[in-house]
Every structure is written in structure tokens, then in C-alpha cells.
Amino acid sequence: MNSISANEIKTIKLSIYRFDPLKDKKPFMQDFDIDVPADKDLMVLDVLMTAKEQDPSISFRRSCREGVCGSDGMNINGKNGLGCITPLSDVIKSNKLSLRPLPGLPVIKDLIVDMKQFVDQYKKIKPYLITDKKVDTREAIPQTIEEREKIDGLYECIMCGCCSTACPSFWWNPDKFLGPAALLQAYRFIADSRDTATEERLEQLEDAFSVFRCHGIMNCVSVCPKGLNPTKAIGEIKKMLVKRAL
Amino acid sequence: MNAPRYLNLLKITLPLAGISSILHRISAVGIFVLSLPMTILLVFSLGSSDNFEQAVLFFENIIFKTLFFLFILGIFYHFVSGIRHLVMDFGYWETLSAGRASAMATFVLTGLFSFYLLYLLW
């Protein structure tokens, strides 16, 4: 940044949600003026790191900075996404960038939320292969190409939480509705030819809340940083549940 | 302590399919609230020719006429949006682009119908 001349810099307004449980009674938005290069794009995480140089007390999670670890999920100008792979030019409006925590989850500090409710729902779907066959787990369980293709678009989820925290059904019923991320993973194991617990998995999902609170508003699809489609996976589960009931 | 939760619905953006879905619910509430008075008026109007004449007078009141307009428009929107949801339940239009297009189609159809309804009522 030091080598950039003044005419290559533009200043943007960055507004960050702040809350420190040891100091603040309620959250507030803090504004920063951030200099960014005018001739090249930055990621939102880069802007946030620059703000942290101004105020080291700003707290947020980040790790891989390339959309793999899923730790820097946040609400960026109203839409959930990963700061590290969201270009500033895609989201900035009127030269202003507002960063808030993932909606609906308890805020620990600033942009850091408590993911317990999200992880608890993930645990419920038993996110591992269950097989009643006596298989040597040290050996690969063979699948045909067609069987393997059925889990494409499902296994790539990085559990960043952007989808579930963008879902109104999850906001209102975070303990009963499993949320798009957990349901995408539920279908990932239901669709997996190596898994033999389909019946048990479906039985666990057939109540009024776990799956059927999804009303297909597609916010999950809209915000998924990996381009996955939880709405479609949930639709497949719903169809299997209906077929099973008939 | 109670940790705050960020949930400002005015700041969180929803895709077109989300707005369509929320309006589907709002229209359902509107239909539910207005169904009873509209049904009472209908039953009253069918009682006799005098009753019918009196019921017709209600439509000279701009507030009643507007409520009636919103009631019929709500039913139309709820019906079209409901069909969209049923199609999705059968496994179609589940991609973001299809969801956006079908939501837009719902709005356009309702918009066109609103003009027709305005023409009929005024």
C-alpha cells in the first residue's frame, strides 16, 4: 500500500457492526475511512484487514483467505457471503460497505457469532456414512460413476453457515428447523450409494419442522459462496418423504 | 448474559423469490382478514333485491372499493404464487435463475391483472 501514489487511491466508507460484551450494552455501527487502490479490486476481507490496522480491536474470524475454510462468513451490504472471495466491486454501493455478523446467531464479539445452534443441527443429521454391510473400512467402498455423480453439488459444502443464517425459517426456529446447510448434508448421505441408513435418516426428518419449514424462498441458493443449491436438495428430501408416506 | 443477535429485516436483502414468498404469506393474511366481511356482504346481498341494491351502494365508498380491490388482487396473487410453489414441489424451477424468473412472472401477471381489475371497478 505504501508504494501507491495518491491519485491511484480512493477512499471508501466502511461501516462495521461493533459489540464487545465487556464494554457495550448494545451493538452499534462504527465508521471508518479506508484507502483502497483505485485501479484494482480488493476482496472484502482485505478491506477488513486494513480497518483492523486502524483499530486492532475489531474482531472477526478468517483463516484460509481463499473460500475453503468458511470461517469469514458475514453479512456484506445486506447479503451473506465470505469476505475472502467477495470482490469489493461486486458489493460496494454508493462508495459504502457495511459489514455485519451472520444474522440470527448470538454475537460473541463484533463479527464473530456463536455457531453452536448451527453445528447442533448439523450433528442431528449424522453427517457420516452409516453402513450395515460388513465392510473393511480400510478399503474403499466401490461406486459406479453414476452413483458417485449423485453427490456432486452436495459434498462441496464448507459449512460456512451463510445459507442457514440467511433463512427466515432458521431465524424463527433454529432449534427445530434443521436449516439448509444441515439438510444439504442430510441429502448428501441419503443420495450416497454407500450409505444404507436411508430409512432411518428419512424417519428422523418426517416431522413438521425439520424439513417442511422450508418454503423455497431460495435465499440459501442466492448466498451460497460455493454455488450449491440447498433448495433442490431439500426438494428431493421432501419428495422422498411424500413417496414414503404414500 | 443475553448476547445480541443481528436481525434487521430492513437491512437484509432477499432474492426476488424470497420477496414473492413473503408476499404470498401477507396476501394469505389479508385474504383471511377480509374473507369474513366480504362473505357477510355477499350473503346479505343475496337475501333480496333491496339488500342487493344496498350492497351495491358499498361500492360507492372509495375505502370499501379499495379494500375490495386489494382483496381480489390478494386472491389472484395468492393463487398464482401458490401454483408457482406447487410446481416447485414437483421438482421444477428450483434453480436461482428459474426461481427469479417464476417470481417475476408472478409479479407481472398480478400487475397486469391489477390493471384489468382497476378497469372493471372504476
Q: Are residues A124 and A187 in the same domain?
A: yes
Radius of gyration for chain B, computed over Cα atoms and rounded to the nearest angstrom:
19
Rounded Cα distance between B92 and B83, Å, is: 12
Q: With an 8 Å Cβ cutoff, are B22 and A108 in contact?
A: no
Q: Are residues A153 and A238 in the same domain?
A: yes
Per-residue confidence (pLDDT) for residue A238, from 0 to 100: 96
Rounded Cα distance between B62 and A222, Å, is: 41
Nearest to A229 among B1, B85, B94 (CB): B94
Place of cell 382483496: B71
DSSP category for residue A166? G
Per-residue confidence (pLDDT) for residue B1, from 0 to 100: 58
Q: Is residue A1 part of a domain?
A: no
Q: Do B15 and A231 form a contact (C-beta atoms < 8 A)?
A: no
Q: Is residue B9 part of a domain?
A: no
Contacts of B96 in chain A (CB under 8 A): 218, 221-222, 229
Place of cell 456414512: A129
Q: Please give the residue range of the domain that contains residue A61.
A: 6-113
Per-residue confidence (pLDDT) for residue B92, from 0 to 100: 92
Q: Is residue B2 part of a domain?
A: no
Q: With an 8 Å Cβ cutoff, are B6 and A236 in contact?
A: no
Q: Is residue B73 part of a domain?
A: yes
What phi and psi values does residue A2 have, to the nearest 5 degrees?
A: -65, -25
Q: pLDDT tens, position by position, for chain A (246 residues)? A: 445 565 689 999 999 999 999 999 999 999 999 999 988 899 999 999 999 999 999 999 999 999 999 999 999 999 999 999 999 999 999 999 999 999 999 999 999 999 999 999 999 999 999 988 777 767 788 899 999 999 999 999 999 999 999 999 999 999 999 999 999 999 999 999 999 999 999 999 999 999 999 999 999 999 999 999 999 999 999 999 999 998
Domain boundary among A72, A89, A113: A113
**Dihedral, CA of residue A202, residue A203, residue A204 and residue A205, to nearest 10:** 50
Domain boundary among A62, A96, A113: A113
Q: Are residues A50 and A108 in the same domain?
A: yes
Q: Is residue B6 part of a domain?
A: no
Q: Is residue A54 part of a domain?
A: yes
Q: Is residue B10 part of a domain?
A: no
Q: Is residue B42 part of a domain?
A: yes
Q: What is the pTM of this model?
A: 0.90
The three grid cell numbers given for residue A68, joined into one nine-digit string: 475453503
The pLDDT averaged over each successive group of 10 residues in chain B (122 residues) is: 90 93 95 95 95 93 94 97 94 93 97 96 86
Model ipTM value: 0.88
Preferred mutation among B1, B7, B12 to probe A, highest tally of A CBs within 10 A: B12
Q: Is residue B11 part of a domain?
A: no
Report the domain count for chain B: 1
Q: Are residues A125 and A225 in the same domain?
A: yes
Q: Please give the residue range of the domain that contains residue B91.
A: 16-121
Q: Are residues A48 and A138 in the same domain?
A: no
Per-residue confidence (pLDDT) for residue A1, from 0 to 100: 46
Q: Is residue A133 part of a domain?
A: yes
DSSP category for residue A17? E
DSSP category for residue A93? B
Q: Do A82 and A166 form a contact (C-beta atoms < 8 A)?
A: no
Q: Is residue B5 part of a domain?
A: no
Q: Are residues A177 and A91 in the same domain?
A: no
Rounded Cα distance between B105 and B81, Å, is: 9
Rounded Cα distance between A69 and B62, Å, is: 59
What phi and psi values does residue A144 have, to the nearest 5 degrees?
A: -75, 165
Q: Are residues A162 and A183 in the same domain?
A: yes
What phi and psi values does residue A62 have, to the nearest 5 degrees?
A: -165, 155
Domain boundary among A113, A136, A157: A113
Q: Which amino acid type is present at position A100?
A: R
Contacts of A236 in chain B (CB under 8 A): 91
**Antiparallel, parallel or unpaired: β A79-82 and A96-100:** unpaired
Nearest to A104 among B5, B14, B20 (CB): B5
Q: Which amino acid type is present at position B78?
A: H
CA-based diameter of chain B, in Å?
67
Rounded Cα distance between A155 and A101, Å, is: 26
Report the domain count for chain A: 2
| CATH code for the domain of B65 | 1.20.1300.10
Q: Do A235 and A185 form a contact (C-beta atoms < 8 A)?
A: no
| CATH code for the domain of A63 | 3.10.20.30
**Antiparallel, parallel or unpaired: β A96-100 and A9-18:** parallel
